[in-house]
Structure 1
Amino acid sequence: MSLSPKETKKENSFSEVDHIRSGSTSQQPQTGVWTSLKDSFKPAIQAETLTSANYDDNKELTDLERININSANSNLQRKLKSRHLEMIAIGSSIGTGLFVGCGGALRTGGPAGIMIGWIITATGVFATMQGLGELAVTFPVSGSFNLYASRFIEPAVGFAIGWNYFMQFFVLLPLELVAASITIKYWNSTINSDVFVIVFWVAIVFITLLGVKGYGEAEFIFSLIKVLAVIGFIIMSIVLICGGGPSHEFIGGVNWRNPGPFANGFKGVVSTFVTAAFSYGGTEMIGLTAAETADPRKTLPKAIKQVFWRICLFYLGSLTMVATLVNSSDKRLIGSSSVDATASPFVIAIVNGGIKGLPSVINAVILIAVLSVGNASVYATSRSLNSLAEQGMAPKWTGYVDRAGRPLAAILITDAFGLFALIAASDRQVEAFNWLLALSGLSSIFTWLSINLSHIRFRAAMKIQGRSLGELPFLSQCGVWGSYYGFVLNMLVLAAQLWIAIFPLGGSPSAYNFFLSYLGLPVLLVSWLFYKLWKRDWTLFIRAKDIDVDTGRANLDLEYLQQEIAEEKSRLAEKSFYIRWYKFWC
């Protein structure tokens, strides 16, 4: 397949911008450290051939065309390496949702309930991430899923999803700083919490200002510690269950028989789905790295495939141990929204096992997890805001990117809001944060729904435009039916949350509890309506035949891409069954 002159021009332009974004300095004169640091904060060097203004001098661009072009030509730099992506993929969502939040789910759903909730939710997450992988490898553009929603569904949906996702992680930074200060109280409860808030805030600001490479290195270390801790916990739990602890008591299935596998019947099981969705939140962040990955064609598929192993080992493996070692009626298990690390079922399991010293280790790991999520929240928020600015959905100045590839304005805005955590010493901190979280409490589910629908619409566009799936560098292992499954499952989780919001467990219906649980939906709808009124565009969806399936493609030389994929398949076919099986899943 030969390229048209216009396509050839595009391809050469993308190669040029990738060279600029990679941070190459081979043609730049040597300068001092201070000068280089100072210059790095200057505006990024623009690739003039790629601006929407001169993309086609003879054509008046629509808002959607400008969105596609500007997002494809972001000034973010491709500095994340394979090892960064792999560890981010493994550890990005191992945080307080797993270490602390699962305690509340165990209390309300029981050991069988928590396993059912996490397993079923996991199948939807796996299918959703496969669809995201196909889109992100094909279109490694700035903004990822909120851009896909604008591009494959319609811009108002992208606007609502983008701002909702921004709010989710914007609020998360101060929340995690408060959580870190509370975790410290395990060792010292006499020092004012705000002291530790400032200490941790300074640390996170320092990391975030290092740029994407600093984020990658920090997450590599944080995630490695979390992974080793979870593996160590699983091994230790097996020993305790088999009676190898200090008391030599064989635990077996005692906690499954008394008080029983289910704590509150069917309703208790349903309540675990919401906590499970919150726990898996952040899995989709691997899509945000697409625009800053050195070789998305090679590294993103591997990172996406590791979602399967992460779910099986780190979630289901550790939760099986927790459900076996901790009794669901234990009074120390408190609400899933709590950030009190002393209520972590991981800590309770070790205390019950009579092992001294290890509770402090687990609390230290929880502290690291909290800081990791805080660091990741700045990354997610800044990239989301930068993408919204590129799409013309946020003030233009918020999309400022410096020469180091940092979305500087977005990072500083997020870091500044982190100081809201100084209310940690206030008696009203829980109520304040509960309402902030309520604004985007369902954001992960909305984001996953948009990914599912974007993938379905993309496949529909490919089909109706007569395009072959052989053009795609990576195909979802679940196919388009996986996205249909993920869409339906996420809708059911929303319905389950609505039921629990109206008729809460152990309580009576109230408007206060309803909006605390379901405020995210009206916020999303208002955002969607605001964009419609702002742009005066009442199109409900983009027709499949009009969807742009070319702008921002990772490789426009389709003939070369297909030849490369064919050679890879040929080499793999010569390998043994075990290697082929490994490559399929890894």
Structure 2
Amino acid sequence: MSYTKENKTDVDTSVSPIRETEITNSGSKGWFGDFKDSFKPAVVEELDPNLTDIERANILSARSPLHRNLKPRHIQMIALGGSIGTGLFVGSGSALSTGGPASLLIAWGLVGIMIYCTVQAMGELTVTFPVSGSFVQYNTRFISPCWGFCMAYNYALQWLVVLPLELVAASLTIKFWNSTINSAAWVAIFYVVIVIINFFGVRGYGEAEFVFSFIKVIAVIGFIILGIILNCGGGPKGGYIGGRYFHDPGPFADGFKGLCAVFVTAAFSFAGTELCGLAAAETHNPRKSLPSAIKQVFWRITLFYMISLTIIGLLVPYNDDRLLGASSVDATASPFVIAIKNGGINVLPSIFNVVIMVAVLSVGNSAVYACSRTIASLSEQNFAPKIFGYIDRQGRPLVAVCFTLAFGLLCFLAASPKEGEVFNWLLALSGLSSVFTWGSICFCHIRFRRALSIRGRGTDELAFSAQAGVVGSYFGVLLNVLILIAQFWIALFPVGGSPNASAFFQAYLTVPVLIAFYVFYMIWKKTFLLYLRADQIDVDTGRRDLDLDLIRQEIAEEKAYMATKPFYYRAYKFWC
């Protein structure tokens, strides 16, 4: 069966060969001249003005002049430890206090299974369509432009707010050692570090995340080994602990309601897991590097979340007073630090606080990357002013990066007495953003498989297919809906509190904001198209490999090669 394009336009929808800098005059202009020229716009091809918004978005995302400078080691380390931050290191403390150790394992376990299914679905889509904007653009392609508009702004808002929050959080970690220095001074230092990293382009982001993630991975592995030793009585204080705290004070703190509250914290701690998919368009060879990186997420969930949280539940009782009343960035409230202190080790808490500071900076760095690429994608989809789609000759979405960094200047509110109130409401704007993002990724995968099916095509043309299949995506959609329902209940009737309008909107403001986006889009575009039919979905634009017969042959050869290998090798390749 020969391959023919189904997208009826007079424009070549394959990826444009224009990727790198186009310099009109030969030779180098010297380092300063080359540096100055790097900020000039990348050369892109003009498009047919008669294209629809969806066709235009699909083609622009495929032809984006973003540079493919991320290597497999960058992608794998981003997938393995990229988004591990305060949600795990500090937020798990409040979750332990609210729900108890059993709730911790149940909530993180179920959310972890959902994340695994979601990342697998995202991997199938991003390997097939490694386009600019990735899953942000898929919403427009596979669901509807209206939903794509809402989800893109939802995701951009999430990271736009996270940047100043994380910069303030990084400055507050210093108070662990010295509380006399004004936080604004440390904020300024960390802000400059983030600016420098991101002006090196995607390579700067990749190298920084490689280092940050490596530190976090080593720290968590070290804690797991130390935790096992302490639990067995090998610490300075000695004494076997075992499962004592699962019996007294017990496995659950507030029953089913406490468990529901922990679900929300668990979802927050996994935020950013999807970043390896967002980087697909800037990966040198996504077909080779992304599948391996996607599989690493299983080990992140199993090793860094489930095992470390099991040890936390064994070493820290949920009624420990130090878990209560501290801010979400206070290292003294970290159950990791509390566990080490309980073991009688004096030096390690300071070392782990350094890890928490690195984790916070890592998330701040990722915020600039994610927000800038999302804003650029909004411009490509004609959802934002054209200037935000400006990409320079170094492949940097320059205007989007500058806009994100400018918003990050809100970090200097750290010197204001109203800082807490302002940031609480800013965070409320996108508090449930990740839940909507994950649910949309799963639904995009379901729609993609449906669009292939009605064309008589299947997974034999996919270089990577989700190990959990469409069933995993249905589970992902279902669990995300259940998390939204649980959050609504907890927001309306807080654990240990009474109904409060301010607390409700701080927990659930994302939903009315999305409704406002939906209404605005329908008025702006004067359209009520809420859902694309499967036969309207474009399943070809943006593929880097357009010879489907060749892909099928290569996939068949790979399967035949794997069949000749022993079981242990096949098992290793399945999980790694």
TM-score, normalized by the shorter chain, greater than 0.5: yes
Taking the aligned partners of 2:446 and 2:502, their CA distance within structure 1 comes to 37
Equivalent residue runs for 1:224-243 within 5 Å = 224-243=214-233
- Name the CA shift for 1:15/1:581 in 2 (closer, same or farther; >3 Å): farther
Q: Is residue 2:87 matched to residue 1:97?
A: yes
Taking the aligned partners of 1:13 and 1:457, their CA distance within structure 2 comes to 22
Aligned equivalent of 1:166: 156
Equivalent residue runs for 1:94-493 within 5 Å = 94-334=84-324, 338-493=328-483
Taking the aligned partners of 1:479 and 1:52, their CA distance within structure 2 comes to 36
2:36 to 35, 38, 41: 38
Query: Contact 1:11/1:557 (CA < 8 Å) preserved in 2?
Result: no
Q: Is residue 2:525 matched to residue 1:527?
A: no
Taking the aligned partners of 1:301 and 1:540, their CA distance within structure 2 comes to 32
Taking the aligned partners of 2:549 and 2:327, their CA distance within structure 1 comes to 52
- What's the CA shift for 1:81? 0.4
Query: Contact 2:368/2:404 (CA < 8 Å) preserved in 1?
Result: yes
Q: Is residue 2:47 matched to residue 1:52?
A: yes
Taking the aligned partners of 1:337 and 1:179, their CA distance within structure 2 comes to 10
3-state SS of 2:559 partner:
helix
3-state SS of 1:367 partner:
helix
Amino acid across the alignment from 1:478: A
- What's the CA shift for 1:415? 0.9
3-state SS of 1:552 partner:
coil
Query: Contact 1:102/1:336 (CA < 8 Å) preserved in 2?
Result: no
- Name the CA shift for 1:12/1:145 in 2 (closer, same or farther; >3 Å): closer
Query: Contact 1:100/1:336 (CA < 8 Å) preserved in 2?
Result: no
Amino acid across the alignment from 1:573: A
Amino acid across the alignment from 1:42: K
Taking the aligned partners of 1:560 and 1:466, their CA distance within structure 2 comes to 18
Taking the aligned partners of 2:369 and 2:325, their CA distance within structure 1 comes to 28
1:429-472 Cα offsets, whole Å, 9 max, x none, are 21111100000000000001111111111111111122232111
Gaps of 5+ in 2: none
Aligned equivalent of 2:15: 14
- Name the CA shift for 1:394/1:336 in 2 (closer, same or farther; >3 Å): farther
- What's the CA shift for 1:177? 0.7
- What's the CA shift for 1:335? 6.0
3-state SS of 1:70 partner:
helix
Query: Contact 1:256/1:324 (CA < 8 Å) preserved in 2?
Result: yes
Taking the aligned partners of 1:487 and 1:533, their CA distance within structure 2 comes to 28
- What's the CA shift for 1:301? 0.8
Q: Is residue 2:71 matched to residue 1:76?
A: no
Aligned equivalent of 2:573: 583
Number of aligned positions between the proteins: 575
Taking the aligned partners of 2:5 and 2:441, their CA distance within structure 1 comes to 33
- Name the CA shift for 1:262/1:122 in 2 (closer, same or farther; >3 Å): same
3-state SS of 2:322 partner:
coil
Taking the aligned partners of 1:378 and 1:107, their CA distance within structure 2 comes to 32
Equivalent residue runs for 1:486-525 within 5 Å = 486-525=476-515
Amino acid across the alignment from 1:35: G
3-state SS of 1:401 partner:
coil
Query: Contact 2:14/2:544 (CA < 8 Å) preserved in 1?
Result: no
Query: Contact 1:105/1:336 (CA < 8 Å) preserved in 2?
Result: no
Amino acid across the alignment from 2:445: H
Taking the aligned partners of 1:421 and 1:567, their CA distance within structure 2 comes to 54
1:104-162 Cα offsets, whole Å, 9 max, x none, are 00000001111111001111111111111111111101111121111100011011000
- What's the CA shift for 1:93? 1.6
After superposing the two structures, state which structure 1 stretch, 255-264 or 562-571, moved more. Answer: 562-571
- What's the CA shift for 1:571? 1.7
Taking the aligned partners of 2:319 and 2:433, their CA distance within structure 1 comes to 30
- Name the CA shift for 1:279/1:335 in 2 (closer, same or farther; >3 Å): farther
1:235-275 Cα offsets, whole Å, 9 max, x none, are 00000000000011111111111111000111101111000
- What's the CA shift for 1:11? 7.7
- Name the CA shift for 1:423/1:349 in 2 (closer, same or farther; >3 Å): same
Taking the aligned partners of 1:28 and 1:475, their CA distance within structure 2 comes to 45
- Name the CA shift for 1:393/1:246 in 2 (closer, same or farther; >3 Å): same
Query: Contact 2:74/2:207 (CA < 8 Å) preserved in 1?
Result: yes
3-state SS of 1:509 partner:
coil
3-state SS of 2:17 partner:
helix
Query: Contact 2:278/2:370 (CA < 8 Å) preserved in 1?
Result: yes
Taking the aligned partners of 2:309 and 2:12, their CA distance within structure 1 comes to 48
Gaps of 5+ in 1: 55-59
1:278-327 Cα offsets, whole Å, 9 max, x none, are 00010011111011000011111111111111100011111111111111
Amino acid across the alignment from 1:420: L
1:327-358 Cα offsets, whole Å, 9 max, x none, are 10111113686211221111111111100110
Query: Contact 1:139/1:552 (CA < 8 Å) preserved in 2?
Result: yes
Taking the aligned partners of 1:156 and 1:336, their CA distance within structure 2 comes to 40
Amino acid across the alignment from 2:36: K
Query: Contact 2:22/2:43 (CA < 8 Å) preserved in 1?
Result: no
Taking the aligned partners of 2:130 and 2:474, their CA distance within structure 1 comes to 23
3-state SS of 2:15 partner:
helix
Taking the aligned partners of 1:398 and 1:187, their CA distance within structure 2 comes to 41
Pairwise CA RMSD = 1.9
Query: Contact 1:131/1:451 (CA < 8 Å) preserved in 2?
Result: yes
1:474-512 Cα offsets, whole Å, 9 max, x none, are 111111111001000110000000000010001000111
Aligned equivalent of 1:57: none
Identity of aligned residues (%): 59
- Name the CA shift for 1:496/1:335 in 2 (closer, same or farther; >3 Å): farther
Query: Contact 2:227/2:311 (CA < 8 Å) preserved in 1?
Result: yes
- Name the CA shift for 1:100/1:166 in 2 (closer, same or farther; >3 Å): same
Amino acid across the alignment from 2:395: G
Taking the aligned partners of 1:515 and 1:565, their CA distance within structure 2 comes to 50
Amino acid across the alignment from 1:120: L
Query: Contact 2:5/2:540 (CA < 8 Å) preserved in 1?
Result: no
Aligned equivalent of 1:566: 556
- Name the CA shift for 1:336/1:478 in 2 (closer, same or farther; >3 Å): farther
Taking the aligned partners of 2:215 and 2:87, their CA distance within structure 1 comes to 17
Query: Contact 2:70/2:203 (CA < 8 Å) preserved in 1?
Result: yes
Amino acid across the alignment from 1:43: P
Taking the aligned partners of 1:343 and 1:13, their CA distance within structure 2 comes to 52
Taking the aligned partners of 2:484 and 2:13, their CA distance within structure 1 comes to 45
* TM-score between both structures, scaled by the size of structure 1: 0.95
- What's the CA shift for 1:62? 1.3
- Name the CA shift for 1:567/1:307 in 2 (closer, same or farther; >3 Å): same
